Structure 1
Amino acid sequence: MSDDKEQLERLLAGDPWLQQFFAHASDLILRQIELAEIEAEKRIISKGEPNPYIYILYSGSLRIINEFGNGRIFSFATKEAPGFSGLLEFLSGQDIATSSVETKIPSRFIRIRKRIFAQWMDEDIHAFRLVVKTFARQLYPSLFSMGEAYVYPKYHSLVGYLVRTCEQMALSHCMARVQETREELSEVLGFSHRTMYRLCSRLVEDGYARIVKKKLCIDKAQIQLMKTYLENESYERIT
């Protein structure tokens, strides 16, 4: 922790936005703060699960997403540095995250366990007021544009589902055979049968899969191709 404290002090000295929050933080609090650098496309908070940290993003960009029960991804906000993540649950006294948060690009954070953050807020009214004001400014644009939404194309949702469910098998056995039929995939992802047949045909055309005995088969190289597609594909705006 001492190394993190020294790095934190250097960071604060060169960043006025961060410096304002920590101007009166005690040495005990500073020693319990972590610095984290997280690569692109990594999830830091998962919807429906406890999140033990408050994240202060000071470099990078985040995607705020909501995942429906059928696996489809609904994305409704992008958060650029600087800003906070995990505050909504903290301020409302809840443990379970309401949305998932993942990095869009390599991002850097100050990461604080919530019990330490609570101790800091209790003893530092200056920081508490700044945090609340910053959170309100951060939340306002999302509420103002509540009528807008972003959703990934159905093809993206299918590719993402196949990577999540087949990657480990493909890597360990060189080939993964999708257990669900195309009709069952339709039910899982909430698509019509016609749409699923069309999407599976596109998978084959794009070289992401083969169909053997009416089942999709995916090898290691095809998993990598699909992951590259996911990294480069963006979501669509709907209103």
Structure 2
Amino acid sequence: MKTFDELSVQYPAMCPYVQNIPTRLKTSFTLQVYEPGAIIHYKDTPIERVGIVVEGEHNVINLFENGNVFLIEKNKAISFIGEVTILSDYPRTSVTIQAASRCVVLYWSVPNFLWWIESDNHFLRLVSRDVARKLYRTSYRSGERLFYSSTYIVGHYILSRFRETPKVGEDVPVSTTRDYMCQELGMNIKTLNRAIAK
């Protein structure tokens, strides 16, 4: 396995987060790689470690007992795994996290992570900022699905994909499945199909 310093060179985006990392934490981490589709952790599982995602994208989802899946958000590196649970002082995770692409995660035990944020104000500020950004994004969209029609929500979704895509001609493909759109939009397939037809 690579040393911490070698990983810092390989993943330079993590450097601002670890610039003041205590020396002992440079040798007390574990590295784990997740392939696309792998579950990083399940909702309601005990939290034993906290991670920094240094490569890849993951989905934060809520799995319901009836089989429905709701996509809360997508996160790209650099991001954290388990920090919300730890900072809110809960023993179990509140969401399921699934790798959307190949993800590389550096993990520290909960006691080591807590010691790190208590001893490094710079790191604590960056972690707090990332948690606040997640809350901001969720709050910004909160309630949309309750107060807008399904046609509006699907139209808004398609327009947002149009804005993300380089403009080549007038046609912009939406490269996702309807099942995945259902997860992202929090609606069933029949409602989605009716909205697309409109």
Same fold, TM-score > 0.5, yes or no = yes
Task: Find the counterpart in structure 2 of residue 164 from structure 1.
Answer: none
Aligned sequence identity (%): 21
Matched, 1:83 2:29: no
Task: Find the counterpart in structure 1 of residue 95 from structure 2.
Answer: 99
Aligned residues: 154
Task: Find the counterpart in structure 1 of residue 180 from structure 2.
Answer: 234
CA distance in 1, matches of 2:132, 2:16: 17
1:46 maps to which of 18, 42, 47: 42
How far does residue 141 in structure 1 lie from its aligned partner after superposition?
A: 1.3
CA distance in 2, matches of 1:145, 1:40: 26
Contact persistence 1:46–1:99 (CA under 8 A)? yes
1:125 partner amino acid: N
How far does residue 98 in structure 1 lie from its aligned partner after superposition?
A: 0.7
2:44 partner amino acid: G
Contact persistence 1:45–1:51 (CA under 8 A)? no
Contact persistence 2:71–2:186 (CA under 8 A)? no
Matched, 1:109 2:105: yes
Greater C-alpha Rg: 1
**Secondary structure, aligned partner of 1:32:** coil
Task: Find the counterpart in structure 1 of residue 58 from structure 2.
Answer: 62
Distance 1:234 1:127, change over 3 A: same
Contact persistence 2:61–2:73 (CA under 8 A)? yes
Q: How does 1:169-180 map to 2 (within 5 A)?
A: none
How far does residue 96 in structure 1 lie from its aligned partner after superposition?
A: 0.9
CA deviation vs aligned residue, 1:46-66 (integer Å, no higher than 9, x gap) = 111112121211211111111
How far does residue 26 in structure 1 lie from its aligned partner after superposition?
A: 1.8
2:77 partner amino acid: A
1:121 maps to which of 98, 117, 131: 117
2:14 maps to which of 2, 6, 18: 18
Contact persistence 2:61–2:72 (CA under 8 A)? yes
**Secondary structure, aligned partner of 1:75:** strand
**Secondary structure, aligned partner of 1:95:** coil
Task: Find the counterpart in structure 1 of residue 192 from structure 2.
Answer: none
**Secondary structure, aligned partner of 1:234:** helix
CA distance in 1, matches of 2:126, 2:51: 15
How far does residue 76 in structure 1 lie from its aligned partner after superposition?
A: 2.1
**TM-score when normalising by structure 2:** 0.69
How far does residue 139 in structure 1 lie from its aligned partner after superposition?
A: 3.0
**TM-score when normalising by structure 1:** 0.58
| C-alpha RMSD of the superposition | 2.2
Work out which structure has the larger RCO, using CA pairs closer than 8 Å and 6 or more positions apart in sequence: 2
1:234 partner amino acid: Y
Task: Could you tell me which runs of 5 or more consecutive residues in structure 2 were left unpaired when the two chains were aligned.
Answer: 146-176, 188-198
